[in-house]
Structure 1
Amino acid sequence: MKWLYHRAGAMGVDRQRLGVMGESAGGGLAAILAIMARDRGQVPLSFQCLIYPMLDDRTGSLRQPPPHVGVFAWTVPDNVFGWRSFLGQQPGTDSVPVAAVPARTRDLSGLPPAFIGVGSIDLFVDEDVTYARRLIDAGIMTELHVVPGAFHGFDGSARETSVARHFTRAKRNALRRAFGEAPT
């Protein structure tokens, strides 16, 4: 981010309109990046777009989801494996570094506006809704979309469905609004 920020002018990039975006584990990394950017104060971000982000290592390790959630595409064992691979240790323990897990970050104030999208039967639905609520409580402009009946990665694997098309349009319009363009 610092590299892009310092070379933005030469690259024709407006450094006042930089944002982060990611899906799944990448959504979690985008959230971590937004928190780090705020904490370090070196690169001001104007937006974060988090698509079914993986935000809380305790999902599936300490907290079990409802039986209908996390059955398709990304399951509890997948999640525990993913977090263990990322953290290099068992997820859900007190020794997990807070900086590696967005949901464990206490202070969410001062972060850029956020778009968060997740399906209602995605394993991440509870952690994503909770994170969105915490952002709102911290005074962060937050747009949350919980897509009825949608599973993890639905917009990629079922992209021709009306639900996926509607979600993609909502995401695109949020990005347009964030960067000063008219929604379509």
Structure 2
Amino acid sequence: MPGTHSMLDQELAAAFAALPKVANGTLLDLSDIPALRAQLGAATAHLPATPPDPRMTISTLRIPRDDRTELEVVLYRPADAEHVLPALLWFHAGAQVLGDSARADDAYHTALALSLGCVVAAVAYRLAPETPAPGAAEDGYLAYTHLVEQAAGHRIDPHRIGLAGASGGGAPAAATALMVRDRRAMPPCSLSLLYPMLDDRLETASSAEAASEVVFTHADMRYAWAAVLGDRAGADDVDPYSAPGRATDLAGLPDTFVALAQFDLLRDEGIDFARRLIAAGVPVDLHLYARAFHAWDRFAPASALTRSFEQAWHAFVRRGTSGKSPL
């Protein structure tokens, strides 16, 4: 990533400089997924436990799958809200291979629920390579339809449920939206894709930019998609539930927010997805953040650029869950 650091937003550059790096100078090495999981697990094991936030009520749903296993969905509900609330079904980041515990991100989910004034439903979707695609998307569809069908019991408005995914979570979030449309379930009120991982082909210009190899490299993305798709990665017959960037028909998807970073290998596939949504008649709120890198909001949460992004995104979600058109 020659010259990238000098081009980053100053606050983001300072945050990046303070973070531990792998051998090639980026933040993640996905060449050995079990080793990376173990490393991340060991690092978080030494962190102090987050004290319970009295403003939040946290409960866990265990929804049966057809194979008799259970899908875990963690609900974060503002404690003082006794009335029916909108909800945001959240798909976490992690290249679809990392992040097996929703509770590990309690602080983020709590802050999101409080800011949005809604229930955040964090999906512990199955990870690759143990569960190849479209397993994560099927989990998303199961979680979404459960919330719609059991909305009264959860004090959720079934007409005001949005979908949102960050990075690797963008794939099952977008695929869930496609499944909901194709299976004629009640449509979600919005879709949010934050620097999403959508297309296994990795053929865009940004996917090969050395300057965009900040958090991970092009090779890392290939490792991740190989875990998700196995031998199907890059093949002609990959279905859009497994890699939503492959979808040729995007008509009928909900109003969509897309947030992208200038220095991100995934930038152009996000732009292309947004462009095709627009061409299909879907209202799109597209934001490209100059001098930002992938997932900047999580690595530099106190930065001005993160505050600007959160203001725009949270306003979009609030408008969608208000029952009015987000645009």
> Given the two structures, how large is their TM-score scaled by the length of structure 1?
0.91
Q: Work out the CA distance in 1 between the residues paired with 2:243 and 2:260.
A: 18
4+ residue segments displaced more than 3 Å: 60-64
2:200 to 47, 57, 64: 57
Change over 3 Å in CA distance of 1:81–1:37 after alignment to 2: same
1:14 equivalent to 2:157? Answer: yes
- Structure 2 gaps of 5+ residues are 1-143
Q: Work out the CA distance in 2 between the residues paired with 1:113 and 1:48.
A: 6
Other-structure match for 2:223: 81
Q: Work out the CA distance in 1 between the residues paired with 2:193 and 2:204.
A: 22
Query: What per-residue deviation string (whole Å, max 9, x for no partner) do you get for residues 30-67 of structure 1?
Result: 00000110000123211001111101111169985233
1:139 equivalent to 2:281? Answer: yes
How far the C-alpha of 1:159 sits from its partner, in A, is 1.2
How far the C-alpha of 1:12 sits from its partner, in A, is 1.1
Paired AA for residue 40 in structure 1: R
How far the C-alpha of 1:27 sits from its partner, in A, is 1.1
Given that 2:258 and 2:287 are in contact with CA atoms closer than 8 Å, whether structure 1 keeps it comes out as: yes
Change over 3 Å in CA distance of 1:39–1:170 after alignment to 2: same
- Structure 1 gaps of 5+ residues are none
Tell which deviates more after alignment, 53-62 or 135-144: 53-62
1:23 equivalent to 2:150? Answer: no
Matched residue of 1:98: which SS? Answer: coil
Q: Work out the CA distance in 2 between the residues paired with 1:61 and 1:92.
A: 13
Paired AA for residue 173 in structure 2: A
Query: What is the aligned-residue RMSD (CA, Å)?
Result: 2.1
How far the C-alpha of 1:169 sits from its partner, in A, is 1.2
Other-structure match for 2:262: 120
Change over 3 Å in CA distance of 1:181–1:138 after alignment to 2: closer
Matched residue of 1:146: which SS? Answer: strand
Aligned pair count reads 182
2:184 to 38, 41, 44: 41
2:243 to 101, 109, 134: 101
> Given the two structures, how large is their TM-score scaled by the length of structure 2?
0.53
Q: Work out the CA distance in 2 between the residues paired with 1:6 and 1:138.
A: 29
Q: Quick check: which one's strand share is greater? A: 2
Percent identity over the alignment is 36
Other-structure match for 2:297: 155
Given that 2:148 and 2:186 are in contact with CA atoms closer than 8 Å, whether structure 1 keeps it comes out as: yes
1:3 equivalent to 2:146? Answer: yes
